[in-house]
């Protein structure tokens, strides 16, 4: 409920090197089984609300009403995107972030069903690789993200990667929705 908006500039920046994204074997199987229907940009506001909700296991959140409204406006303008995982027509996992040039800045994710956010993350990585993105920024590293190959780097090194990513244009819509899990795994595991 805080009206404050915090600006954070970590000294150690978390990123996913897209070419080294790691899918654990059991998750590959889950992705290939298409247990979730994965869509993009169909429930952006709801994804943000669930990322901030106690329902998704959050006791505290940095997502206040001002931030929610600002990101929804970025989404309306085409600069923010969501990836949503549905099961039996119900939104059970997802993530959202901001796209600038060839960089995608992951902001938050949630899961109401086992592996739902992980499947959404795999779909995001495949979409970014296929669309020519060069950087997936996670801001910070958690043990959960490290399992997938996220790494930390000094802010100065990060600036070079960021400048490179901003000098190109990623294409979000190049990969349509309703892509099979097998195709997602193939896109992630193929070398660039």
| pLDDT tens digits for range 133-174 | 999 999 889 898 999 999 999 999 999 999 999 999 999 987
**Strands across the sheet with 90-100, in order?**
37-40, 80-87, 90-100, 103-111, 135-139, 12-16, 151-154
Residue whose C-alpha is closest to residue 150's, from 11, 27, 30, 12: 12
| pLDDT tens digits for range 57-68 | 666 666 778 888
Query: Would you call 82 helix, strand, or coil by DSSP?
Result: strand
Give the pLDDT mean for 112-138: 96
Dist CA 2 CA 99 (whole Å)? 26
pTM above 0.75, yes or no: yes
| pLDDT tens digits for range 73-108 | 999 999 999 999 999 999 999 999 999 999 999 999
- Answer yes or no: are the C-beta atoms of 10 and 156 closer than 8 Å: no
| pLDDT tens digits for range 2-34 | 566 566 677 899 999 999 999 999 999 999 999
CA angle centred on 77, ends 92 and 100, rounded to 5°: 85
Radius of gyration of the chain (CA): 16
Which of the four pLDDT bands, split at 50, 70 and 90, describes residue 52?
A: confident
pLDDT at 119 exceeding the cut of 50: yes
Q: What confidence score (pLDDT) does residue 192 get?
A: 46
Where does the chain show beta strands of DSSP type E? 12-16, 37-40, 80-87, 90-100, 103-111, 135-139, 151-154
* Buried residues in 105-127 as b, exposed as e (16+ CB within 10 A): bbbbbbbbbebbbbbbbbbbbbb
Specify the higher pLDDT residue, 56 or 168: 168
């Amino acid at each position: 409920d805080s009206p404050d908006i915090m600006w954070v500039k970590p000294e150690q920046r978390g990123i996913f090197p897209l070419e080294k994204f790691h899918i654990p074997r059991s998750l590959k199987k889950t992705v290939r089984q298409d247990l979730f229907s994965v869509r993009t940009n169909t429930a952006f506001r709801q994804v943000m609300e669930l990322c901030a909700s106690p329902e998704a296991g959050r006791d505290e959140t940095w997502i206040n009403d001002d931030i929610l409204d600002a990101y929804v406006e970025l989404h309306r303008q085409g600069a923010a995107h969501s990836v949503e995982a549905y099961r039996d027509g119900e939104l059970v996992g997802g993530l959202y972030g901001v796209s600038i040039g060839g960089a995608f800045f992951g902001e938050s994710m949630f899961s109401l069903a086992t592996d739902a956010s992980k499947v959404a993350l795999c779909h995001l990585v495949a979409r970014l690789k296929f669309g020519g993105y060069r950087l997936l920024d996670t801001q910070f590293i958690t043990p959960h993200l490290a399992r997938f190959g996220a790494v930390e780097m000094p802010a100065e090194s990060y600036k070079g990667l960021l400048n490179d990513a901003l000098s190109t244009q990623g294409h979000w819509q190049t990969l349509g929705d309703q892509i099979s899990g097998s195709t997602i795994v193939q896109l992630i595991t193929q070398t660039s």
